[in-house]
A = this chain, B = another copy of it.
Amino acid sequence: MHFADRLLDACRKKQNALCVGIDPRWEQLPREIRARHAGGTLDAMASAFEEFSLRVLDIVAPLAPIVKPQSAFFEACGPAGMLTQQKVLVKARQLGLLTILDAKRGDIASTAEAYADAALAGTLHEGKRHAVWSADALTVNPYLGRDAIEPFLASARRAEAGVFVLVRTSNKGSGQFQDLSCDGKPLYQHVAGAVGAWAAENIGTCGFGDVGAVVGATHPAELALVRTWIPQVIFLVPGYGAQGGAAADTAAAFRADGAGAIVNSSRGITACFKPDEPKWEAAIERACRAAIQDLAQVTPMKALGD
């Protein structure tokens, strides 16, 4: 089943389009988990991240359609962290969650293919595909151009997975290059146009393609513009919550029926408690429900429940 259709199905089942970012940071873990993984090694840090992340998945699986593990925090623990990343992705799938591996990969030719297959279709070895991260989608960086993106599209299409291309990122300095006026329009408009063309190559029943765009909630005017340029592209919207974007800032990302966008919240959900809070699991559940309610009040997302 086409990635966009799978995503819309998942959103309709959960009646929302919240993506929960899994970005474990040692300082933000519950103190009880840190105490169980003391020792001060990166292996201990990886095992703490694993316990916390798997618990978060249990809590959010009944509520949200999709999660987005941030690869950098797992890589920070070294090889043990990469094993944790793998376990988190496997468990998310077992719980019926869709997954975006947020790794912002980008390279050329067979190197891009290696990243893409690791994330999506599986590494080909001795005639068989072997699951590595087995995510449902991967974030990628467009700077290297079309032929560097193509191996990601090929791997995604083999696996009926998705690719989210950075268009307008949520950081303050994103405009340094993305806003440059190129032949009369900003660079991110050129990138958006390319993403629209890639998405149009493979449109699902729902009317959206399998190539999405990362467009930050912290730039709501630009987000609304990008939506008009590429109506068939699913938006992954970071920047909501802890980064400063409001729920209303994400509204323009959605089609009237609530399709076409997922809104990510990471720290706003998984770091919503003080480390000493004994009832941190309940706090995460409340924060997740609150984010869904917040988004439903001011965006077309609420139509998913109709």
Report whether A114 and B72 are in contact in the complex, using a CB–CB cutoff of 8 Å. yes
What string of 1s and 0s marks CB contacts (under 8 Å) between A246-262 and chain B?
A: 00000000000000000
Provided the pairs A42-B130, A128-B40, A176-B145 are in contact, do residues A107 and B104 lie with their beta carbons within 8 angstroms?
yes
Q: Pick the interface stretch among A1-9, A51-59, A186-194, A274-282.
A: A186-194
Report whether B106 and A42 are in contact in the complex, using a CB–CB cutoff of 8 Å. no
Report whether A143 and B178 are in contact in the complex, using a CB–CB cutoff of 8 Å. yes
Report whether B76 and A178 are in contact in the complex, using a CB–CB cutoff of 8 Å. no
Give A29-53 interface residues, CB cut-off 8 Å to B: 40-42, 45
Complex interface: chain B residues within 8 A of A114 (CB):
72-73, 75-76
Report whether A77 and B123 are in contact in the complex, using a CB–CB cutoff of 8 Å. yes
Return the contact of A86 from the options B26, B78, B130, B133 (Cβ within 8 A).
B78
Q: A23-B111, A72-B114, A79-B79 are in contact. List 17 more A-B contacts (CB 8 A).
A: A45-B123, A70-B111, A72-B105, A72-B112, A73-B111, A75-B115, A76-B115, A76-B117, A77-B132, A78-B133, A79-B86, A142-B177, A143-B177, A144-B173, A145-B169, A147-B172, A177-B194
Across the A-B interface, the 4 shortest Cβ-Cβ residue pairs: A147-B173, A145-B176, A180-B182, A145-B173
A-B contact pairs, 28 of them (CB 8 A): A23-B111, A25-B110, A40-B126, A40-B128, A42-B123, A72-B112, A75-B118, A76-B114, A76-B117, A76-B118, A77-B132, A78-B86, A78-B133, A79-B86, A106-B106, A108-B170, A108-B171, A109-B171, A141-B143, A141-B144, A142-B177, A144-B169, A145-B174, A146-B173, A147-B173, A148-B169, A177-B190, A177-B194
Q: Which residues of A pack against B, CB within 8 Å?
A: 23, 25-26, 40-42, 45, 70, 72-73, 75-80, 82-83, 86, 104-112, 114-115, 117-118, 123, 125-126, 128, 130, 132-133, 141-148, 166, 169-178, 180-183, 187, 190-191, 194
